[in-house]
């Protein structure tokens, strides 16, 4: 019976004491968490070779340390919330960077390349040209009096070989050799 009594005493809840909150430690923990978030955002916008990120992690560590000084529950809340705050700030920062006028907003798509370059209006499917260099399978060809990078479909070609444009895929011109 003594074993059951020992287990009962161990499992019995302790007397609930009135919680004393250390407001100074809690305020410092919140301030360090805000500082950590600010340094994290600054790291994404300022080139610091990771020093601001390291300072952010240090502030986060001390924020959680002071939160644990208040109580274990508050400490674990800070530890649990930190990744979510980081993800939200990371996403917000990248959205902000993408909408910034400092970032190039153009895309490379199927309209890029020779098709929209000034002076290359006559580079169209079916145009004839001549290889300037050997192509194994890429090389340079003179087409419509313009020298272009081309890729031979199905093999290779030597300089002087007549070629015809089979298709243009963005910046890549695919040609086939012409047989007489």
pLDDT tens digits along 140-180: 998 888 888 899 988 888 999 999 999 888 778 899 988 74
Confidence of residue 16 (pLDDT cuts 50, 70, 90): very low
Phi-psi group of 126: left, alpha or beta (phi > 0 → left; psi -120 to 50 → alpha; rest → beta):
left
Q: What average pLDDT is seen over the chain?
A: 81
Q: Count how many residues are written for the chain.
A: 180
CA angle 68, 73, 76 (to 5 degrees): 70
Mean pLDDT over residues 67-92, rounded? 90
Q: How far is CA 20 from the centre of its chain?
A: 45
Cβ neighbours of residue 168 under 8 Å, at least 6 residues apart? 113, 114, 115, 123, 124, 125, 174
Asked if 178 contacts 166 with a C-beta cutoff of 8 angstroms, the reply is no
For residue 113, what pLDDT is reported? Answer: 54
Residue holding tokens 């963005």?
170
Does the pTM surpass 0.75? The reply is: no
Segment 108-141, tens digit of pLDDT: 555 555 555 556 666 788 889 999 999 888 899 9
Instruction: For residue 152, report the phi and psi dihedrals to the nearest 5 degrees.
Output: -80, 130
Segment 91-110, tens digit of pLDDT: 888 888 777 776 666 665 55
């Amino acid at each position: 019976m003594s074993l059951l009594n020992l287990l009962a005493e161990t499992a019995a809840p302790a007397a609930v004491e009135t919680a004393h909150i250390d407001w100074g430690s809690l305020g410092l923990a919140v301030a360090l968490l805000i500082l950590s978030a600010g340094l994290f955002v600054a790291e994404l916008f300022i080139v610091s070779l990771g020093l601001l990120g390291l300072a952010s992690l240090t502030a986060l560590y001390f924020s959680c340390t002071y939160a644990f000084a208040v109580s274990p529950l508050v400490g674990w809340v800070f530890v649990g919330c930190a990744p979510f705050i980081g993800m939200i700030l990371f996403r917000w920062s990248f959205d902000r960077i993408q909408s910034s006028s400092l970032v190039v907003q153009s895309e490379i798509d199927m309209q890029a390349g020779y098709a929209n370059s000034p002076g290359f209006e006559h580079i169209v499917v079916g145009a004839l040209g001549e290889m300037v260099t050997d192509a194994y399978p890429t090389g340079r060809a003179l087409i419509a009096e313009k020298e272009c990078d081309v890729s031979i479909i199905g093999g290779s070609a030597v300089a002087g070989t007549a070629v015809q444009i089979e298709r243009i895929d963005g910046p890549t011109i695919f040609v086939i050799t012409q047989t007489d």
